Chain A
Amino acid sequence: MTVLNGTWPKLTNSDEFRFLSDLVMTRSSADHTIVSLRDHHAGTTRFANNQVIQNVDARRGSLAVTVAFGGRHGTAGTTDFTAGAIQDTLARAERIARISPVDPEYLPPPEPCQFPVREPAKPETMTAGPAKRLEYANEAIGHCRMENIMAAGVVSSSSTAVGIAADNGLFGYEQRADARFSLTVQAGDATGWSAAAHRSIDHLRIQERTLAAIAKSKRGRDAWELPAGHYPVILEPAAVAGLWAWLIWSLDAKSYMKGTSPFAGKLGQAIVDERLTLNNLPDHADLLGEGFTHEGLPSTSSEWIDHGILRQLTYDRFTAKEHGVNTIPTLEAPALSVEGPQAHSIQELIRGAEHAILVTNFWYVRPVNPRDLTLTGMTRDGTFLVEKGEIVTPIRNFRFHESPLQAFRHLTAWTAPMEAVTSETGKMLVPAMALPHFHFSSVTRF
């Protein structure tokens, strides 16, 4: 049997999900019943020291049943799709719901609606198996071997059948796929990095990204140590994404309403540079837009920050209802843009800098203070000193101590939005940016 071409497994299709959800609905005695599906098939080829170290392929189908009696609700899940197991899952959900305390925030399932039809399941990604992933991994390794430097990275692809159904007629089903590539190359003590994520495995641009990582590592040898302090910076897109991810994750509306948010009282006010705008663009070909959320709400285009002014928050359904928000916006496909003349490339940003630190990526970014969104983290895989428009030397990695709400209050220069993804963030479109002030609080040994 040959299964390397990606023909296994066959994911749960729409009719099968409808059959499974109907099975649950007809047997449920609850006031409300919701069934959600996640049937996920993923494979990863991982390499290090210029050879494959791990090559895996796994399929997990899971079904979750949520039921409610009045305001009492409970959820049970299973990976076993046999009739007996599904019956047992429903029974467990009902048992939980019957004895749960009434939840004052419980809401019935959303009303049925027509979800946007997108194409998040590219055939080339859905059918990409271990052979394709190995081919791409070998391409990256081959370039590195030719340069006599070490490659470590992954090529992965996944396909997922996602469904939601409720006894009020709500029904959504979608197949999604994505492919990812990331690469760290080591040239002595220096490292270079690049990463990509896309709905189409054919858009990973393995060669281009591998050569970029190699070039970065070659420039990283013999790093100088600079003192910690405040510096102008040029942040490449991945570094911008690393900071904006935390800003986006902190937009919770309930925390906002209860006063435990860094944005408390700032809705409708400027929180960053007035030229910055953040949108959700689920239809953008380079973003990972979806048709609907796990709650059964449609994903739509929306404006979150308009010329620096905070316009939206991330609502749970109860908080939205409590505050009269009729359409809950989603932000799974963030796109950040800057109004005004753009630099054509990162190189042009460098050429325009008198004195700055160029940051390729941040790592281990974590909140320090949730009140003002102060974050910490390290620079990683390519940090350089720029003087008079040129990179003059690699420098040792800094730890930063900075809030994006301060750092992005004023921009010096920027490019057009570019694709960005890191090991700690989802896929975004963000520009590379030059900022006048950024606080590096300490320096490490390499």
Chain B
Amino acid sequence: MSTPAWEEFAELALKRIAASGAEYGDIRVQDSSTEHIQGEDRRIASIRDVKDIGFGVRVLYHGAWGFAASSILSLEEVPRVADLAVEIAKSSASVAIEKVRLAPEPVHRDRIVTPYRLDPFSVPLEKKTDLLLNTMALLQRKSGIARSSASLWARRDRKLFVSSEGTQVEFDLLAGQGECTATALCEGRFASRSFNTPHLRKGYELIEETDFLREAPHVADQAVEKVKAPAVDAGRYDLVLDPEHLSLTIHESCGHPSELDRVLGYEANYAGTSFLTTEKRNNFRYGSRHVSLVADNTESETLAGTGYDDDGVMCQRWDIVRNGIFVGYCTNREVAPKIGESRSCGSNRADGWANIPMVRIANIGLEPGEATRDQLIADVKRGIYIEGHGSYSIDQRRYNFQFGGDAFWLIENGRRTHMLRDVVYHGITPEFWSSCDGVADRSFRQRYGFITCGKGQPGQSGWMTHAASPARFRQVQVIRGEGSS
């Protein structure tokens, strides 16, 4: 957890901010450790253990922001950086038109710790490298597999957030993930198939609860089947999408357009804006009645479930889409008042001490329905079942998207038959979600996390989790993902 020195640094920075006449300030001191073990083609290619320590000071002066950060944690550097943040805020204020006004938030004093059974940083390294080597050996035991990879990733973030309003929160957060991939070669073609745990805030038990050695032969079998599978014929198909695949669809087509800073133009030069403009709230049909998308940053083990965000706002649960109607946004203390909200929903996060926090997608998930997965498939005459992530792209207002996947099976007359390759589907977001006519029940619900969600200038990587049960979409346009004929 934080050290007495950190609290001393925070006090020092906040005193400088108060003396400047600024209306608000905060400091985040953070010590992050990342262990990343990467295997490639039956060897351990790299083991990296990186510590990243520093602090960032944010100042709001006469309605304008300034931010400065440094990796030097010392009694000399802290006031220097705090003063720089104040000076930058003052220069921003000199050209400000619309002053920033923060939504009120109660003062919190708290300590957040990720519950875990096994500390990933204490698990012997040999155990981890053995797991990866054995997994890759199993992947490449299959005839036709040309390449393999496997990796383990773990991160610990110790953080102290202190604001000029009196909020002080200590964090000791863990996250982890493991994955493996096999690549098959056949007649000059190649195709990959992957298996991974979700990124979750758990200890090494996340890896131990996953049987990579049991999964590896299936992964290899499916890679070989995939490379030999027939290419899809373009046309309209019913799609049944598995939870991991849906996590990306939700992220791109619901998560990003629900970020209020995008709606207000803050990201116009980079990540883009949003078609979910403010007049659409509470009256725009985003999807069918089967579609309810809920943001839940209170769910345990999720990446955005950190107790508090980087505004010091307590994590919350709220609706984004209710029974198909768009109803809510992801907000922070700066943008929430701009649409008349009295409180931020707590979605302001930075990817570390060196960056200023901004609105981030929450843990948005698709609410379960009542069907079973087999029932969803049984009612499909000609369709495709899609698992995992593949190619993805979406326009800057989040209308026109295109997704691939990691594995595809043809559905004929209610039965999943053989694999297909090169399946890509595209659509327009509200039309696509309006074609959803069934979601499987809660027993099929799975969660998948994202740690590389790019946004902001300078670019930052956002973390969040998306949960879903399998869902069915009718008559979606599918094209073949090759050539340009």
Interface size for B (C-beta < 8 A) is 84
| B96 lies within 8 A of chain A by Cβ | yes
A89 to B50 CA separation, bound complex (whole angstroms): 9
CB of A48 within 8 A of CB of B268, answer: yes
Answer whether A104 and B129 are a contact pair too, CB < 8 Å, given A138-B95, A260-B146: no
Considering only residues 45-65 of chain A, those with a C-beta below 8 Å from chain B are: 46, 48-62, 64
**A interface footprint on B84-98 (CB within 8 Å = 1, 0 otherwise):** 100111011001111
Chain B residues whose C-beta falls within 8 Å of the C-beta of A2 in the assembled complex: 87
Chain B residues whose C-beta falls within 8 Å of the C-beta of A372 in the assembled complex: 482-483
What's the least CB distance linking A194 to chain B, in Å? Answer: 10
Considering only residues 115-132 of chain A, those with a C-beta below 8 Å from chain B are: 130-131
Chain B residues whose C-beta falls within 8 Å of the C-beta of A198 in the assembled complex: none
CB of B71 within 8 A of CB of A61, answer: yes
| A21 lies within 8 A of chain B by Cβ | no
Chain A residues whose C-beta falls within 8 Å of the C-beta of B266 in the assembled complex: 48-49, 53, 152
Among A56, A99, A367, chain B packs the most CB atoms within 10 A around the CB of A56
Cβ contact of A62, chosen from B71, B92, B402, cutoff 8 A: B71
CB of B95 within 8 A of CB of A367, answer: no
A439 to B399 CA separation, bound complex (whole angstroms): 20
Chain A residues whose C-beta falls within 8 Å of the C-beta of B426 in the assembled complex: 399, 441-442
Chain A residues whose C-beta falls within 8 Å of the C-beta of B339 in the assembled complex: none
What's the least CB distance linking A384 to chain B, in Å? Answer: 17
What's the least CB distance linking B191 to chain A, in Å? Answer: 8
A399 to B92 CA separation, bound complex (whole angstroms): 38
Interface band, chain A: 35 or more
| B179 lies within 8 A of chain A by Cβ | no
CB of A368 within 8 A of CB of B147, answer: no
A77 to B43 CA separation, bound complex (whole angstroms): 22
A8 to B92 CA separation, bound complex (whole angstroms): 19
What's the least CB distance linking B122 to chain A, in Å? Answer: 13
CB of A446 within 8 A of CB of B397, answer: yes
**A374, closest chain B residue (CB):** B482
| A79 lies within 8 A of chain B by Cβ | yes
A42 to B70 CA separation, bound complex (whole angstroms): 11
**B interface footprint on A149-176 (CB within 8 Å = 1, 0 otherwise):** 0101110100000000000000000000
| B66 lies within 8 A of chain A by Cβ | yes
CB of B67 within 8 A of CB of A54, answer: yes
Chain A residues whose C-beta falls within 8 Å of the C-beta of B56 in the assembled complex: 58
Cβ contact of A376, chosen from B92, B147, B391, B396, cutoff 8 A: B391
Among B53, B428, B457, chain A packs the most CB atoms within 10 A around the CB of B457
CB of A369 within 8 A of CB of B482, answer: yes
What's the least CB distance linking A380 to chain B, in Å? Answer: 6
CB of A100 within 8 A of CB of B65, answer: no
A59 to B73 CA separation, bound complex (whole angstroms): 12
CB of B49 within 8 A of CB of A423, answer: no
CB of A442 within 8 A of CB of B83, answer: no
A232 to B275 CA separation, bound complex (whole angstroms): 30
Answer whether A186 and B268 are a contact pair too, CB < 8 Å, given A52-B64, A57-B88, A60-B54: yes
Cβ contact of A77, chosen from B45, B51, B392, cutoff 8 A: B51
Cβ contact of B49, chosen from A77, A80, A377, cutoff 8 A: A77
**B185, closest chain A residue (CB):** A259
Of A28-36, A279-287, A288-296, A358-366, the one touching chain B: A358-366
| A146 lies within 8 A of chain B by Cβ | no
Among B73, B83, B270, chain A packs the most CB atoms within 10 A around the CB of B270
| B283 lies within 8 A of chain A by Cβ | no
**A interface footprint on B44-65 (CB within 8 Å = 1, 0 otherwise):** 1111111111101000000011
What's the least CB distance linking A197 to chain B, in Å? Answer: 13
| A247 lies within 8 A of chain B by Cβ | no
| A324 lies within 8 A of chain B by Cβ | no
| A444 lies within 8 A of chain B by Cβ | yes
A binding-site residues for B, Cβ under 8 Å: 1-4, 8-9, 42, 44, 46, 48-62, 64, 73-81, 85, 89, 92-93, 95-96, 99-101, 103-105, 130-131, 134, 138, 141, 150, 152-154, 156, 182-184, 186, 191, 193, 230, 258-260, 264, 363-372, 374, 376-378, 380, 397, 399, 401-403, 406-407, 423, 437, 439, 441-446
Mind listing 16 A-B residue pairs with CB under 8 Å? Answer: A3-B87, A49-B266, A60-B69, A76-B49, A77-B49, A79-B54, A80-B73, A152-B266, A154-B269, A368-B481, A374-B484, A397-B395, A402-B484, A403-B483, A441-B426, A445-B275
